[in-house]
Amino acid sequence: MIYHITYLSDGLRVKGYLSLPYGHERPASEIQSNIERFYGEGNLPVTEIAHPLNRANQDLYEQQWPVLIYCRGGMGKFGRVKSDWLEQFSQFGHLVFAPTYRGNEGGEGRDEFGGAEQEDVRSAYRLLQSLSFVDPSRISVMGFSRGAINAAQTAVDMPDIHRLILWSGVSDLAQTYGERMELRRMLKRVIGGNPVKKRESYIARSPLYMAEDISCPILLIHGTEDAQVDFSHGLQMFKKLQQDGADVDMHTFDGYGHLFPPDIHQQSVKRMFAWISRDTTKRHP
C-alpha cells in the first residue's frame, strides 16, 4: 500500500510517499491521524495511490518494522520518486518513506539541492520514529544519485541511523559541476554561483567531505559505466571511508550505467537488503 502524504518541515507543508511492507494496508485516514497527532496540527492530507490487487488483511501492528528512507535523485520533475522502486523495496519486509523535497508535487518551499530541504529528510526521520509500528533503531537511509547528498547529510545529523546506502551517488559536487555541463546553470542558480565563487557551499553538499563524520555502516553501489555520476565518485568515497576506518562495503556493477536494467536492478536491491539485515557483531565486537 502506497500513500502520498503531507508532513511538516520548518513549518512548511511538504510531500512524501509512504509504502507499507508488502501485504499490509491501513486506511489513509488512519495514517493521516497518526501524522496529525504527532504534529498537533490538522489539514495534513494523505491519499492512497496504490494497493495490491489482492487486498491485504495482515496486521501492521503485529511488530515494529524496519524502515528505509529513500532520497530521490534529480531536481524538480526530473528524477522524481520512482513508485516501482517503492513497491520493490517494500517486498523486503521494510516500510519505505520517500521525501519529494520541498517545492515539489504540491509541497511548499524551494528545493536547494542539498540545502534547506535537508530538513525534509530529518523531519521525516523524526516522524517515522514516532510511529508505533516502526522500529526506531532500524531506520536506514538510501540516496540515489543527487539523493546521496541528502542521505549522507542525514547520517551525519542523525547518528542513530541504522545503515547508509549511496547508490550511483554524487560524492563531490564540484566534480559534478565540471563533468555535467548541462547542470551548471541549475547549480549556479540554486547554489548561487560556481564552485570557485561558492566553494564552501559545494563542499557542504559533498559526501566526500562528510565521510569522517559518518558513524553507521555504509554501502556504496555504483556501475562502472555511469555517464551521469562517474564511477570515480563512488570509488573515491569508498577509499576515503576506508581511510577513515569506516565499516564500508561496495557493490560494483561492471559495465552498467546510472540506472541498471530490470534484472540487474532487482539483483542489486536484493543484495542491498541482505546487507542492511546483516549481523555486524563479528566485525565490530
Instruction: Tell me the per-residue pLDDT of 244-256, one tens digit each, with 9 for 90 and over.
Output: 999 999 999 999 9
Question: How do the domains of the chain map onto residue ranges?
Answer: 2-171+206-275
Contact of 146 with 79, CB cutoff 8 Å: yes
**Over 90: is that where the pLDDT of 269 sits?**
yes
**Over 90: is that where the pLDDT of 28 sits?**
yes
Nearest 5°: phi and psi at 191? Answer: -95, -20
Q: Residues with Cβ < 8 Å from 93, sequence gap 6 or more?
A: 21, 22, 65, 66, 273
Q: Which of 134, 144, 188, 141 is nearest to 160 (CA)?
A: 141
Instruction: Tell me the per-residue pLDDT of 147-184, one tens digit each, with 9 for 90 and over.
Output: 999 999 999 999 999 999 999 999 999 999 999 999 99
Residue 21 DSSP label: P
Q: Give the number of other Cβ atoms within 10 Å of residue 262's Cβ.
A: 10
**Over 90: is that where the pLDDT of 263 sits?**
yes
**273: which 3 cell numbers?**
537488503
CA 29 to the chain's CA centroid: 25
**Over 70: is that where the pLDDT of 280 sits?**
no
pTM: 0.95
Distance CA 53, CA 73 (A): 29
Confidence of residue 80 (pLDDT cuts 50, 70, 90): confident
Q: Give me the active site residues, please.
A: 145, 258
**Over 50: is that where the pLDDT of 64 sits?**
yes
Q: Residues with Cβ < 8 Å from 92, sequence gap 6 or more?
A: 269, 270, 273
Strand order in the sheet with 134-144: 46-50, 2-9, 12-19, 95-99, 65-71, 134-144, 164-167, 218-223, 248-253
CA 67 to the chain's CA centroid: 11
Domain 2-171+206-275, CATH: 3.40.50.1820
